[in-house]
């Protein structure tokens, strides 16, 4: 895909501060197979093993890094933090770098699964925007370096949604039967208990990290009420389903909607893909580079961190992937159309409406697991 040519040709018009109608790449297990069974490398091999969200590193960036480090970059992929944590808990080893969101960083630190960073080996940390440094999950950045961020929002077939009169700036679009009646079988939601419950809780004007059983039960009920209208729980192929017109509304990540819009345009579909951040608020995922204790090549891991802290390299995360960027040195190299996209770079006002997911206490985690099982089987 010639993303740069497309980006220069795009002219975005936004009806609201949270709406975007153009393109790029994203953040799920979407459409590319995860090479989950790749054996861990020997400690002497000249490979960096990266366990990352799919579509979260442009092919061009990966090739540039390989030329820079004179090594091979091997990637495995996951579609959400829960999948990544479950795989590691099941015994997966040999990953040098992971790119978890804040709540998963918190979990991995608590598990003692990460190497503490040697900050003398990190070059370029001064490039990071102050608001992304010293986050709650790692206040001293002992274990994590900011990589990118994304918002969980709504992507949609702009022509179909307009024709049906469905609002795109509210979670009501995926939860309220009065809208879903018009969309039966054309809606997908993320196959992620934390993300879906967070959307329901935020819609109910509760915290995305709510632990009160009555409020969680209320969220479960609106999910169950909406479920018969949905086509699927889908964290792996909704980019494709949106792009070919099989679904008209999807719950997903900024970068994936960026990718779907690009794919639809390149395929010359008779419709466009838009995306919007609901007015009630949404989940903000700040994803960080961390070193797993079982990784045999921390030396290459530090090279990767330093490479991604370079402003020009970091800018590719926004220009080619559609990710929000925590790197101030990247901003001069980011295409104007991307910088002005409020779904990729939310305004300060909208940022205040976003919430990060946090690791839940064990009791509440068990409760949410039970409610999630009920949602899936009923």
Q: Tell whether 18 is covered by a domain.
A: no
Q: How many domains does the chain have?
A: 2
Q: Are residues 165 and 144 in the same domain?
A: no
Q: Are residues 75 and 88 in the same domain?
A: yes
| Average pLDDT rounded to a whole number, residues 354-375 | 96
Q: Tell whether 101 is covered by a domain.
A: yes
| pLDDT value for 45 | 82
| Average pLDDT rounded to a whole number, residues 198-219 | 98
Q: Are residues 95 and 157 in the same domain?
A: no
| Average pLDDT rounded to a whole number, residues 206-222 | 98
Q: Are residues 268 and 139 in the same domain?
A: no
CA atoms within 13 A on the CB side of 228: 4
Cβ-based neighbour number of residue 251 at 10 Å = 26
Q: Tell whether 25 is covered by a domain.
A: no
| pLDDT value for 353 | 96
| pLDDT value for 55 | 86
| pLDDT tens by residue, 226-253 | 999 999 999 989 999 999 999 999 999 9
| Average pLDDT rounded to a whole number, residues 282-290 | 98
Domain that holds residue 225: 150-283+358-377
Chain-centroid distance of CA 290 in Å reads 16
C-alpha distance from residue 184 to each of 14, 167, 228 (Å): 27, 16, 8
31 band by pLDDT with thresholds 50, 70 and 90: very low
Q: Higher model confidence: residue 132 or residue 16?
A: 132
Q: Tell whether 13 is covered by a domain.
A: no
| CATH code: domain of residue 44 | 3.40.190.10
Q: Are residues 334 and 270 in the same domain?
A: no
Q: Are residues 371 and 234 in the same domain?
A: yes
| pLDDT tens by residue, 138-154 | 999 999 999 999 999 99
44 band by pLDDT with thresholds 50, 70 and 90: low
Q: Tell whether 319 is covered by a domain.
A: yes
| pLDDT value for 54 | 85
Q: Tell whether 14 is covered by a domain.
A: no
Residue 21 near residue 13, CB atoms below 8 Å: yes
Q: Tell whether 202 is covered by a domain.
A: yes
The mean pLDDT of the chain is 90
Q: Are residues 82 and 123 in the same domain?
A: yes
Q: Are residues 43 and 107 in the same domain?
A: yes
| pLDDT value for 42 | 46
Residue 150 near residue 323, CB atoms below 8 Å: yes
Chain-centroid distance of CA 132 in Å reads 16
Residue 330 near residue 181, CB atoms below 8 Å: no
**Residue 164: which residues within 8 A CB-CB, separation 6 or more?**
182, 183
Q: Tell whether 341 is covered by a domain.
A: yes
pLDDT at 40 over 50: no
178 vs 180: CA distance, rounded Å? 6
Closest by Cα among 254, 258, 260 to 237: 260
Q: How do 144-157 and 282-291 pair as beta strands?
A: antiparallel
**pTM score, two decimals?**
0.87
Q: Are residues 156 and 272 in the same domain?
A: yes
Residue 354 near residue 284, CB atoms below 8 Å: yes
Q: Are residues 245 and 310 in the same domain?
A: no
19 band by pLDDT with thresholds 50, 70 and 90: very low
Instruction: Encode the chain in three state secondary structure.
Output: CCHHHHHHHCCCCCCCCCEECCCCCCCECCCCCCCCCCCCCCCCCCEEEEEEEECCCCHHHHHHHHHHHCCEEEEEEECCHHHHHHHHHCCCCCCCEECCEHHHHHHHHHCCCECCCCHHHCCCHHHECHHHCCCCCCCCCCCEEEEEEEEEEEEEEHHHHHHHCCCCCCCHHHHCHHHHCCCCCCEEECCCHHHHHHHHHHHCCCCCCCCCHHHHHHHHHHHHHHHHHCCEECCCCHHHHHHHCCCCEEEEEHHHHHHHHHHHHHCCCCCCEEEECCCCCEEEEEEEEEEECCCCCHHHHHHHHHHHHCHHHHHHHHHCCCCECCEHHHHHHCCHHHHCCCCCCCCHHHHCCEECCCCCCHHHHHHHHHHHHHHHHC
| pLDDT tens by residue, 216-227 | 999 999 999 999
289 vs 322: CA distance, rounded Å? 18
173 vs 14: CA distance, rounded Å? 19
| pLDDT tens by residue, 168-193 | 999 999 999 999 999 999 999 999 99
Q: Are residues 185 and 270 in the same domain?
A: yes
pLDDT at 79 over 80: yes
Residue 326 near residue 128, CB atoms below 8 Å: yes
Cβ-based neighbour number of residue 338 at 10 Å = 26
Q: Are residues 245 and 123 in the same domain?
A: no
């Amino acid at each position: 895909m010639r993303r740069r040519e497309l980006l220069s040709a795009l002219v975005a018009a936004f009806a609201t501060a949270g709406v975007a109608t153009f393109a790029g790449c994203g953040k799920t297990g979407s459409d590319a197979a995860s090479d989950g069974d790749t054996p861990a490398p020997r400690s002497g091999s000249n490979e960096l093993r990266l366990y990352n969200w799919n579509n979260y590193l442009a092919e061009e960036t990966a090739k540039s890094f390989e030329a820079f480090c004179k090594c091979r970059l091997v990637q495995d992929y996951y579609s959400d933090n829960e999948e990544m944590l479950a795989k590691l808990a099941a015994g997966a080893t040999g990953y040098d770098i992971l790119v978890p969101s804040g709540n998963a960083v918190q979990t991995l630190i608590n598990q003692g699964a990460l190497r503490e960073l040697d900050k003398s080996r990190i070059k370029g940390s001064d490039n990071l925007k102050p608001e992304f440094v010293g986050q709650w999950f790692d206040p001293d950045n002992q274990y994590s370096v900011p990589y990118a961020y994304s918002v969980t929002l709504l992507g949609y077939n702009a022509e179909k949604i307009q024709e049906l009169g469905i609002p795109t700036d509210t979670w009501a679009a995926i939860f309220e039967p009065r809208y879903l009646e018009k969309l039966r079988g054309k809606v997908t939601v993320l196959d992620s208990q934390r993300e879906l419950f967070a959307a329901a809780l935020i819609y109910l004007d509760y915290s995305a990290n709510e632990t009160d059983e009555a409020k969680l039960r209320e969220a479960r009920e609106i999910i169950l009420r909406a479920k018969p209208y949905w086509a699927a729980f889908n964290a792996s192929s909704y980019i494709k389903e949106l792009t070919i017109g099989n679904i008209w509304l999807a719950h997903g990540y900024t970068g994936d909607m960026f990718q779907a819009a690009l794919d639809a345009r390149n395929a010359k579909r008779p419709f466009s893909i838009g995306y919007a951040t609901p007015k009630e608020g949404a989940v903000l995922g700040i994803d960080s580079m961390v070193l797993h204790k079982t990784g045999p090549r921390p030396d290459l891991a530090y090279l990767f961190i330093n490479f991604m802290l370079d402003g020009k390299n970091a800018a590719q995360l926004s220009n080619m992937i559609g990710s929000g960027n925590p790197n101030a040195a990247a901003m001069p190299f980011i295409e104007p159309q991307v910088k002005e996209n409020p779904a990729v770079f939310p305004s300060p006002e909208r940022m205040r409406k976003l919430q990060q997911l946090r690791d839940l206490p064990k009791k509440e985690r068990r409760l949410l697991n039970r409610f999630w099982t009920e949602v899936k089987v009923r």
